Amino acid sequence: MSAQEQADMARSQVFGEVAELYDATRPGYADALVADVLAYAALGERAAVEVGAGTGKATVPFAAAGTTLLCIEPDPRMAEVLRRNTADCPGVSVHARSFEEWEPGGRRFGLLFAATSWHWVDPERRWDLAHDVLAPGGAVALFWNPQGVRDAELHAALAEVDGRHGITGTPHGAMASSYGDTPGNWAGLPGWPEEECRRDGRFTDLRAVRYRQVRHYDTDRYLGYLASLSRCRVLPSDRREHLLAETARVLETHGGEIHMEHFSDLFLARVR
């Protein structure tokens, strides 16, 4: 594993520090996305496996649709919140370990999905692991939430704050107008995940869909969202506090709120 991949792995393990904040502030996923994934997977009586379930932002709507779910979440603090959020969902089970460590015990699933988490899985193994746990014809659904600021002046002011603190990839790091109608890349990886999956060769019926909605955050909620991001969590605490304080001042001078164009990008594939 490269030094960058090791750094990414370390970043993936910081969310549990703020599990409750993550649960309270992170956005969920479009209802239409859940419906489209389930229509594509055509599960019938088969179960689904979720990789990197976090606190259940995607788990809960899939469970509400009647899906039997086995959820894998590597951080025990996140898994604890996930169990609480799915306590009324008898079809949900939670395994507190990484996807790489988890043993399916010969089980095969009709759907594997990952909500803003697939990039944390070992890139040398993720497609092998997905293929090995899916039944013939089983579906993969990967999705994530890019966002963009609607106000150009606010975007520029926040970009100055990010630049002073050397942080990139924040939700306000792009203008909403910079997004087209075509689902884009995730985690700064060109052509990912479609090209990666296509190179693997064991999957077919590849599709990409984008869903769009407008979200509003007041200053406190948006600061909580920022504080839950891995790129923010890994900053030294004093630097992180300065970043959040300066972001708050910018938001307060722009009415104490931020309006975001919120996308849910979905990638689908099926085992040949």
DSSP characters over 188-244 = TBTTTTHHHHHHH-SEEEEEEEEEEEEEEEEHHHHHHHHHTSHHHHTS-HHHHHHHH
Q: Report residue 18's pLDDT band, with 50, 70 and 90 as the boundaries.
A: confident
Per-residue pLDDT reduced to its tens digit, 105-126: 999 999 999 999 999 999 999 9
The most confident of 190-199, 220-229, 246-255, by mean pLDDT: 246-255
Q: How far is CA 14 from the centre of its chain?
A: 14
Q: Residue 1: what pLDDT?
A: 44
Per-residue pLDDT reduced to its tens digit, 35-55: 999 999 999 999 999 999 999
Q: Residue 183: what pLDDT?
A: 82
- Amino acid letter at 21? L
Question: Is pLDDT of 13 > 90?
Answer: no
Question: Is pLDDT of 10 > 70?
Answer: no
- Amino acid letter at 137? G
Question: Is pLDDT of 196 > 70?
Answer: yes
Q: Residue 2: what pLDDT?
A: 47
Of residues 10 and 234, more confidence is placed in: 234
Question: Is pLDDT of 6 > 50?
Answer: no
φ/ψ of 196, rounded to 5, equals -60, -45
Q: Residue 189: what pLDDT?
A: 66
Q: Report residue 190's pLDDT band, with 50, 70 and 90 as the boundaries.
A: low
Count of other CB atoms within 10 angstroms of residue 25: 19
Q: Report residue 4's pLDDT band, with 50, 70 and 90 as the boundaries.
A: very low
Of 3, 251, 28, 1, nearest in space to 147 by CA: 28
- In the chain, what percentage of residues exceed pLDDT 70? 92
Q: Residue 188: what pLDDT?
A: 59
Report the range of poorest mean pLDDT among 17-26, 135-144, 204-213. Answer: 17-26
